[in-house]
Every structure is written in C-alpha cells, then in structure tokens.
C-alpha cells in the first residue's frame, strides 16, 4: 500500500458514468501493485458444478448439506456419510476448468494477480494453471485416515470402500474422510492466516463468483478495504459489498472476465 495516498473507494465510483466496467477494472489491475482474487461457487458453475445454495439444483436438491455433510454425521456413521459424499467426490473429480478459471490463471501468468483465495474444493483453479491457490475449505485432492493420518489421493479413494460403503484405511482400519472442511469443522488455520495477510496487503481484491456472505470469505473484503485497497465484485446477484465496490459486474462470470482480459 506504500505510496498510494489517494485511494478512494466507495459507492460513488460504481455508479459514476464512465468507461465500461471491464475497462475500468483493467485500469485498476494495471495500477495495482498487489491484486488478489477471492472466488466462490459461481466460478465453477460454468463447469457444471451447482452452487448448493441454489435451491433445486443437482445432488443437493434431495438432501440438507448441513446435515449430511456435517462432521458429526461423518463421525456417527461414516458409511452413511460416504453414501452421499462418494458420489459427490466422483462428480467433482470428473469436472473440467472453464474460461473463468483460465482467465484468472492468465492474469497470474501476466504478473497481474498474486494469488487466488477460494472457497471451492474442486481444484479447478490449479488445473486451469493457477499456481498460488489458497483453499480455505480444503479440497477433494486428498482424503485422510482419521486415526493414523495416512493420506490418499482422489484417484485412490475408490479402492478404500468396504462392503458396507465406508472408506477404510488399509494401514490401520481407521475411517477415511475427505480433506474438505465439513460443516461443524474448524477452518484450516494456515490457509486462513495466509488469506488474511493477502487481503490486508492487496491494493485490489477481485471478488469473483461469490455472494460474499459465508465466513471466512465474507470477512476478507473488509480487511482489504480497511487497508486502503479497493474491491471489484464480479458475480450475479447482490452482495453486502456492492456499495463499496469500485467496479461491479453482474453478468456471466466467464464473459465478464473475458471482457476484462480483452481490455488489458
């Protein structure tokens, strides 16, 4: 933030007539010494991964994620938990990155983006080429034995299921759990600390595909604003930070990011 004294932000710039939002954001990206992206489910929707908060979509339609994807549900009955989560893991593992993931990877390649902080567990940012990705909700990349700590890559998990449908550690017989943050679990402290440090240092935070309502992601834009940085919010639907955003785009996330890349 050093040297940036006239860093104004607030609602005025969002509604002020001027160049199209994509060009304004391209200008902010060029001027920013440190830009960090913060992404949520909306980035992966074009890859065919429904946002579970969207009613009536996909496999979350028939279940309450707060109940079935809760750490207590796993501890009580791992086979029942896996009866649901096995299908989710397989589904997520088959998805491919889309152009929104690729646009963020391209910004990093061009030296315009320091890191991606994501709530998504699907690993699609890395598969699109992003190098520095902070996963605040963990990921499907590995699953771990809750007794001995042995870790198993996504491809190996299918081999762990017993006849009852629970994933069992071949080394100690313990229960294996995906390394994603389930409801009721603590967030990974290292990832949270890194995300907060980045948010604090950012001249510009690019909030993409998130309603910015779920902790910890909901707290990070405020950290950037307090440090004198600006926000760009690219997502469909309202967020609590719309009036604070220097740039607000609410169209298709792929088209919006493509427009920003084209304007650079």
Tokens of 68: 């079935």
Beta-carbon contacts of 189 under 8 Å, excluding residues fewer than 6 positions away, are: none
Put residue 127 in one of left, alpha, beta given phi > 0 → left and psi -120 to 50 → alpha. Answer: alpha
Q: If you write DSSP's letter for every residue of 50-72 in order, what string do you get?
A: --TTSTT-GGGSSS-HHHHTBHH
Separation of alpha carbons 4 and 2, rounded Å: 6
Angle between helices 253-263 and 99-109 (to 10 degrees): 30
Shortest spacing between CB 159 and Zn ion, in angstroms? 14
Q: How far is the CB of 158 from Zn ion (least distance, A)?
A: 17
Least distance CB 168 / Zn ion (angstroms): 9
Site of interaction with Zn ion (CB under 5 A)? 145, 147-148, 150, 169, 171-172, 174
Whole-angstrom Cα distance, residue 153 to residue 211? 31
171 vs 243, which CB is nearer to Zn ion? 171
Q: How far, in whole angstroms, is CA 29 from its chain's centroid?
A: 20
Could you confirm whether 137 is annotated as catalytic? yes
Q: Which is nearer to Zn ion, 32 or 143 (CB)?
A: 143
Q: Which is nearer to Zn ion, 87 or 147 (CB)?
A: 147
Catalytic residue, candidates 9, 101, 125, 137: 137
Cβ closest to Zn ion, residue 168 vs residue 187: 168
CB of 82 to Zn ion, least distance (A): 16
Classify the C-alpha dihedral 151-153-157-160 as positive or negative.
negative
The catalytic residues are 137
């Amino acid at each position: 933030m050093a040297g940036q004294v006239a860093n104004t932000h607030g609602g005025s710039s969002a509604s002020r007539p001027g160049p199209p939002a994509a060009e304004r954001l391209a200008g902010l990206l060029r001027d920013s010494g440190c830009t960090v992206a913060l992404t949520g489910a909306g980035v992966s929707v074009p890859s065919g991964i429904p946002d579970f908060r969207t009613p009536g979509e996909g496999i979350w339609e028939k279940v309450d994620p707060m109940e079935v994807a809760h750490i207590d549900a796993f501890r009580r009955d791992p086979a029942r938990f896996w009866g649901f989560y096995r299908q989710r893991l397989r589904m997520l593992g088959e998805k491919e990155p889309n152009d929104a993931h690729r646009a963020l990877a391209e910004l990093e390649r061009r030296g315009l983006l320091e890191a991606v902080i994501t709530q998504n567990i699907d690993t699609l940012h890395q598969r699109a080429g992003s190098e520095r990705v902070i996963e605040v909700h963990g990921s499907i990349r590995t699953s771990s034995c809750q007794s001995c700590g042995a870790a198993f890559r996504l491809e190996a998990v299918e081999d762990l299921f017993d006849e009852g449908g629970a994933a069992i550690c071949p080394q100690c017989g313990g229960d294996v759990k995906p390394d994603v943050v389930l409801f009721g679990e603590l967030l990974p402290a290292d990832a949270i600390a890194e995300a907060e440090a980045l948010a604090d240092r950012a001249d510009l935070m690019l909030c993409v595909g998130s309603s910015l309502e779920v902790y910890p992601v909901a707290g990070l834009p405020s950290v950037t604003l307090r440090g004198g940085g600006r926000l760009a919010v690219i997502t469909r639907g309202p967020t609590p930070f719309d009036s604070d955003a220097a740039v607000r785009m609410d169209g298709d996330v792929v088209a919006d990011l493509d427009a920003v890349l084209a304007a650079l």
